[in-house]
A = this chain, B = another copy of it.
Amino acid sequence: MQSFELLSQQFALHFDRRHFPEEPASLYEPNEYFLKLGGKRIRPVLCLMGNELFEDIKGDAWHVGTAIELFHNFTLIHDDIMDKAPLRRGMETVHTKYGESTALLAGDVMLVTAYEELNKISIEYLQSILFLFNKTAKEVCEGQQMDMDFEKMNAVSLDAYLKMIELKTSVALAASLQTGAIIGGAGERNQHLLYDFGKKLGIAFQVQDDYLDAFGDPKKFGKQVGGDILANKKTFLLLHAFEMATAAQRAELDQLLAHNDADKVQRVLDIYRDCKVDEWAVELKNKYLDEALSHLEDIAVLSKRKEPLKELAQFLIKREH
């Protein structure tokens, strides 16, 4: 069994090639440009790890991993259009560089190319992997739509937010692992346990992301602390603060969200601390991490095989008390 890091290096090498025809260059050059911006390639590596949890990695896992990564990049190109994001990884987004129409079409053809890659796998599990891939792709679209809907709403319940995070982020991680498990010959029960591991891990990661944006050490976190607060982004923290705030705190929060005063971040953080949102978020994160690890525990393979996934979980989610 290989670590996430080792497989990540191998996948990066595997993926670093042309994925599109030369012509028409006006359509395919934007795609090649975007793939060259790089990325952590987490999802395809999860597919490889899902395979290796049960058996040596088969050639088909590389095809499925590639398809998953192309799918992920399709969602990024289109999300960037919807979010009107000028930059990704410090470089121009596709629609900024090539125009919205080309970005739209480049995303479309990226998705079709993902299906082309999927169709290279053995007929033995084509149907089951295609089924999971389609289901997940639909869910990711649903999550993105919910995210856009929430932006326009004043009140969003924590349950609804959790559902959105599951759809937009977690199911893709879960499904990546499960496709690998299918290729590795896992039975249905093991497949579903691994799926649930990925789903819970994804939620824990999002809780951590929301937490670090507010309470992280700016030096370690690598981005501006309080960015979500400045953008009035609905996060686990803000939604829980709404639930816990007294009438006076709620009024102050509403007031802070309505303006962008210089001390906005500091004052929102004060309310978060008063409402113990920070402690709650750490507990929530640990709860999902524990649930994830318990699903992994229940998978019926030698525990030695689980080590790389356990390490990855601990690496992604730093336990805090």
Contacts and interface: CB of A to CB of B under 8 A. Distances in A.
A190 interface: no
A87 interface: no
A116 interface: yes
A115 interface: yes
A113 interface: yes
A105 B127 contact: no
Contacts of A101: 81-82, 148
A145 B82 contact: no
Nearest to A146: B24
B104 A82 contact: yes
B115 A134 contact: yes
Contact of A78 (B23, B24, B105): B105
Contacts of A108: 78, 107-108, 111, 141
Nearest to A115: B134
Contact of A130 (B119, B137, B141, B146): B119
Nearest to A119: B130
Contacts of A111: 108, 111-112
A142 interface: yes
Given A24-B149, A26-B149, A141 B126 contact: no
B127 A119 contact: yes
Given A101-B82, A104-B78, A105-B82, A24 B145 contact: yes
Count copies of this chain in the complex. Answer: 2
Contact of A112 (B23, B119, B141): B141
A109 interface: yes
Interface of A: 23-24, 26-27, 78, 81-82, 101-102, 104-105, 107-109, 111-113, 115-116, 119, 123, 126-127, 130-131, 134-135, 137-138, 141-142, 144-146, 148-149
6 cross-chain pairs, A with B, having the tightest CB-CB distances, nearest first? A27-B145, A82-B101, A109-B141, A112-B137, A116-B134, A119-B130
Given A24-B145, A112-B138, A123-B123, 20 more contacts: A26-B145, A26-B146, A78-B104, A78-B108, A81-B101, A81-B104, A82-B104, A82-B105, A104-B104, A105-B148, A109-B137, A109-B141, A112-B137, A112-B141, A116-B135, A119-B127, A119-B131, A123-B127, A126-B126, A126-B127
